[in-house]
Amino acid sequence: MSSGVFTVHGKPVRHCDGLQRRGFLKAGALGFGALTLADLLRGEAAAGIRSSNKAIINIHLDGGPPQMDLIDPKPDAPSEIRGEFRSLRTKIPGVHLTELLPRIAAHADKYVFLRSLVGADGKHDAFQCQSGFTEKELTSVGGRPAMGCVLNKLLGRAGDTAPCFVDMLQGRPFVRNSARPGFLGATNSAYRPDITNLFPLALSVGMKAELDKQSYGRSESLALTTGLTAARLENRLALRQSLDTFRREVDASGSMEAVDKFTQLSLGILSSGKFADALDLDKEDRRVVERYTPPIADSGLGDTMESPKAALKFLMARRLIEAGVRCVSVSLGDFDTHEANFPRIRYLGPLLDHALDTLVTDLDERGMLDDVMIIVWGEFGRSPKISAKGGREHWPQVAMGILAGGGLRTGQVIGSTDRHAAEAASRPVHYQDVFATLYRHLGIDAQSTTLTDTTGRPHLLLDMGRPIEELI
């Protein structure tokens, strides 16, 4: 989208650090059901949201990671199930990962290994890992919103210098608009910076055709037009708003409101420069960049596979959180291992190991780890039996996840699977349970907070999830 005054492309979003109270009163219903302004103020005070730096980094392993080849090894299983990778002891007594994750194993006390994730839809996108719901939920009113879009609605504020939710998903998760706003509408969409120049990731022919049919885009410019100052931009914005008053009042579609929200966010971003700087890795200490860069060679598995440089997405996520973003979605792929499972995971495992452990260590050293909760997961697990093509097929019966930070009780395993890693044998945890835990970290009670759909009907943020008790 280009206004002629400044150039910022992408969907409009809400802003993050708070509505001015006068603006809040004018905004009307914000989807809190029967909550009054006084109720909200008390809730903010109780949860610490007004001065909170708490945030989420949601890392999607695109394609569906094989649980038994990463965090749930089965060394005693038959060879057609066990696979090639050796079991590796961790810092947690009695807990093993595979040999592909030595750094995480050495610092296992900083992680939670979720081995019994259930409820997968079995479809190739990241929507369930963005919302906790299947794509079929509430389709008649636009569908369920992604968590980041919910945060735009609940925590977004006018005049911020950073969006509340930044979506850096690539590949399938981006093509299928996994971080979509659903019934919340375009006003609460993700902010999508264009990172393709930094992290090239080719799409398959089918994905390219699918993307061509979509209308959502990426932000391409985060700089003021030459000669345009922030003061002049504010004057132009005020003039345009006065001229557009009538159009906004008669616009029933909400599109003018979306333009206004986007313009306000753009003004904050462009006049501050803080958000743009966070996306510029040239402004990071080169020693830190080198620390995040893994000492591994390119996979040689084709241009639809991540390069080793993809680990720097995790650094960018940390920088965005420091700039005030509350939720960042990142993807790492391609874990779609119908063929060549072992060569692919032999490359992707160490890439994940280096990137994730560097991020966790970096956040810890900066005193940020308790404020930032990290979730790492995929859309489903992988089949225990290795196929004739050397691959593992889709397996929605059970999946894996890794949690870190957020003040969680780390250094433990949640749940277990049977001897083939085919079914949850104990303590099944639903995707929505993970989201309930994430929301709780941000001071939001997902079992009592409601959002209103386009028909005026309220919906709880989650309809079945509960925070994972062992972690809090």
**Where do the domains of the chain lie?**
21-471
Report how far apart, in Å, the C-alpha atoms of 386 and of each of 5, 88, 331, 341, 397 are. Answer: 57, 21, 25, 9, 16
Query: Cα angle at 89 between 340 and 389, to 5 degrees?
Result: 10
For residues 398 and 101, give the distance between their C-alpha atoms in angstroms, rounded to a whole number.
Answer: 20
pLDDT digit string, tens, across residues 348-363:
999 999 999 999 999 9
Task: State the sign of the Cα–Cα–Cα–Cα dihedral 344, 346, 347, 353.
Answer: positive
Hey, is 164 helix, strand or coil?
coil
For residues 274 and 319, give the distance between their C-alpha atoms in angstroms, rounded to a whole number.
Answer: 10
pLDDT digit string, tens, across residues 410-431:
999 999 999 999 999 999 999 9
Q: Of 10-14, 384-388, 435-439, where does mean pLDDT reach its minimum?
A: 10-14
Hey, is 157 helix, strand or coil?
coil
Nearest to 165 by CA among 330, 52, 37: 330
* Higher pLDDT among residues 362 and 2, named by residue: 362
- β-pairing, 372-377 vs 399-405, is antiparallel
Phi-psi region of 235 (alpha: psi -120 to 50; beta: other; left: phi over 0): alpha
pLDDT digit string, tens, across residues 371-396:
999 999 999 999 999 999 999 999 99
For residues 56 and 203, give the distance between their C-alpha atoms in angstroms, rounded to a whole number.
Answer: 27
This model's pTM is above 0.85: no
Report how far apart, in Å, the C-alpha atoms of 158 and of each of 105, 266, 269, 453 are. Answer: 43, 11, 11, 22
Burial of 194 (0-12, 13-18, 19+ CB in 10 A): middle
pLDDT for 50 equals 41
Give the position of tokens 């910022």. 8
> What does the buried/exposed string (b/e) look like for 410-432 if buried means 16 or more CB atoms within 10 Å of the residue's CB?
bbbbbbebeeebbebeeebbbbb
